[in-house]
Amino acid sequence: MKLDVVLGLQWGDEGKGKIVDVLAETYPVIARFQGGPNAGHSIHFEGKKFVLRSVPSGSFRKGTINIIGSGVVLDPITFREECENIKAAGIPLEERLYISKKTHLILPTHRIIDAAQEASKGKSKIGSTLKGIGPTYTDKVSRVGLRVGDILAPNFHERFEALKAKHIEYLKGFDFEYNAEEHEQEWLEAAEYLKNFKIIDGEYFANECLDTNKNILAEGAQGSMLDIDFGSYPFVTSSNTICPGACVGLGVAPGRIGRVYGIFKAYCTRVGSGPFPTELFDETGEELRNKGFEYGAVTGRPRRCGWLDLVALKYAIMLNGVTDLIMMKADVMDTFDTIKVATGYMVNGEPTNKFPFDTQSEIVPVYKEFKGWKKPLCDTKSESEFPYEFRVFIKFIEEELKVPVKIISVGPDREQTIIRED
């Protein structure tokens, strides 16, 4: 049995939540492997909408087991809110959701440090979601972090206090006002709430699933261009969003990886700062934002919008070993006369098809233009109904990327998904 992986190929918000929910119908186990409540994964079905932050997107499928893996960072306060919201819709979450003991905890003071660090950056802000992600991973790597399994230990409170004291000491280096106690009681109660769920040895559990005929679908958060090592550093998140992150975040060996589903929008978006070569500052960008509802699922921040970027996409496919592409949101461009796709860059006046190291480089995309299909895609039920111009667009992308587009999403709902035959 294999560990299949779903991950974003761009700057996040590609539609991972929707696709994991769709694919979860055929996987008994779904596992989040990195990131935390900086993620916002939207799922629409039967007229309902949910935005998931830390809970895996298989949670609405009967018979699934959903794991929060060791590579995730978990904030008990947002987690409890999220769980209560899902449970209010009648979902028996305690039966379906397991948490790995090695998952690191986001403390209230991690969030404060995130805000203090971001405030101190002046004009060069990353645009962090301020959920405490960076500081929590920093503590993990510094070997001082607290993990979900620690909640079960008798000295948990002492360890919490010790880490909080370290944070308060560190915060003395910032000119930043805060109240460390503001969310403390709520946080400690929410940490207790975690005990309502099965707290497991995630790596043993995942491997036992694979050994006993249960495929696992790993759910990525963020996108490849936000990867800590290979994204547009320093404008990245603090985890490995790329495929190897699934091995590290779940404790599963690389040889057990099966399919790698790479999700991309038929255009691009980015929230926060950092390079975005195909960004549009004109009314086309505005149209993408309005028609695509490109506002952060969690923060409500307007997303920066631009044309599809094949240079960045090829880079992400290379990093991840993508076997199947999944194209989202082409329906947003239904009314466009012309659609552009970047096939190369001019970087500081030189042509290249590689994403540059230097985030300060002047990148000018080289575009290929396509005639718009000018028909609504949202009600198409099969590939045979696709307009001619849309087929041309897909064929070009497949030929350029050398990976087949296996799934095409034509709307936010679970049902608006076309799975192409092999």
Active site residues: 13, 41
Edge-first strand order for the sheet with 257-265 is 198-200, 97-100, 65-68, 29-32, 216-219, 3-8, 257-265, 324-328, 405-409, 417-419
69 binds, among Mg ion, ligand GDP, ligand IMO, none (CB under 5 to 8 A by kind): none
Q: Kindly state whether residue 293 participates in binding ligand GDP, applying the rule CB under 6 A.
A: yes
Candidates 32-40, 71-79, 138-146, 260-268 — which segment interacts with ligand IMO by CB under 6 A? 32-40
Of 142-171, binders to ligand GDP (CB under 6 A) are: none
Nearest-approach distance from CB 44 to ligand GDP, in angstroms:
5
Q: Kindly state whether residue 131 participates in binding ligand IMO, applying the rule CB under 6 A.
A: yes
Nearest-approach distance from CB 99 to ligand IMO, in angstroms:
18
Rg (CA), the chain: 21
Residue 310 backbone phi and psi in degrees, to 5: -75, -20
- Mask for 328-367, x = binds ligand GDP (CB under 6 A): xx-xx-----------------------------------
Q: Which of 134, 251, 292, 356 binds ligand IMO (CB under 6 A)?
A: 134
Q: Are 121 and 89 in contact (CB under 8 A)?
A: no
Question: What tokens does 354 get?
Answer: 């590689």
* Cα 217 versus chain centre, distance: 14
CA distance 317 to 402: 10
Residue 38 vs 78, nearer CB to ligand IMO: 38
Would residue 342 be called left, alpha or beta, if left means φ above 0 and alpha means ψ between -120 and 50 degrees?
beta
Residue 419 backbone phi and psi in degrees, to 5: -100, 120
Q: SS3 of 202, please?
A: helix
Q: Kindly state whether residue 7 participates in binding ligand GDP, applying the rule CB under 6 A.
A: no
Candidates 19-27, 184-192, 215-223, 342-350 — which segment interacts with ligand IMO by CB under 6 A? 215-223
DSSP letter for 302, please.
B
Nearest-approach distance from CB 215 to ligand GDP, in angstroms:
21
Q: Are 243 and 252 in contact (CB under 8 A)?
A: no
Q: Kindly state whether residue 129 participates in binding ligand IMO, applying the rule CB under 6 A.
A: yes
| Helix (H) or strand (E) segment spanning residue 156 | helix 156-171
Q: Which of 5, 24, 31, 39 binds ligand IMO (CB under 6 A)?
A: 39
Q: Are 340 and 360 in contact (CB under 8 A)?
A: no
- Mask for 217-246, x = binds ligand IMO (CB under 6 A): ----xxx--x----------x---------
Q: Kindly state whether residue 15 participates in binding ligand GDP, applying the rule CB under 6 A.
A: yes
Binding positions for ligand IMO, rule: CB under 6 A: 8, 11-13, 35, 38-41, 126-129, 131, 133-134, 221-223, 226, 237, 271-272
